[in-house]
Amino acid sequence: MDALHTPGIERFYRAILDLKTEEDYASFFEDICTIKELQDIAQRLEVAFMLHGGKNYQEISALTGASTATISRVKKCLVYGSGGYREALSRAEERGETE
């Protein structure tokens, strides 16, 4: 079992899947994450949207405040990752949400 598939992490994933409403998600993540952690996660997703939309590193950094290291990491995950960002972007596009 690798580091991202421990019983505790699997339980965490199931807990998220059990949530039903946006309010449920907000309450859960406000309890489980610090404000800074939530801001960082949201920033990474915004960076992914912007990269997907064709913005360059300088534009993204200016708009989000993300470091070039963060932008580079998100880009690496978009290209070589397990597909989580790509799936989230695809579903957002299906809902009509774009960068």
Q: Name the 3-class secondary structure at 76.
A: helix
Task: State the Cα–Cα distance between residues 2 and 13, nearest whole angstrom.
Answer: 15
Ordered DSSP codes for 42-65: HHHHHHHHHHHTT--HHHHHHHH-
The string of pLDDT tens digits covering residues 74-90 is 999 999 999 999 999 99
**pTM score, whole prediction:** 0.88
CATH class of 35-99: mainly alpha
Instruction: Give the pLDDT band of residue 5 (cuts 50, 70, 90).
Output: confident
CATH 1.10.1270.10 residue ranges of the chain are: 35-99
Instruction: Give the pLDDT band of residue 23 (cuts 50, 70, 90).
Output: very high
Residue 97: predicted pLDDT? 86
Task: State the Cα–Cα distance between residues 96 and 90, nearest whole angstrom.
Answer: 10
The string of pLDDT tens digits covering residues 57-66 is 999 999 999 9
Instruction: Give the pLDDT band of residue 4 (cuts 50, 70, 90).
Output: confident
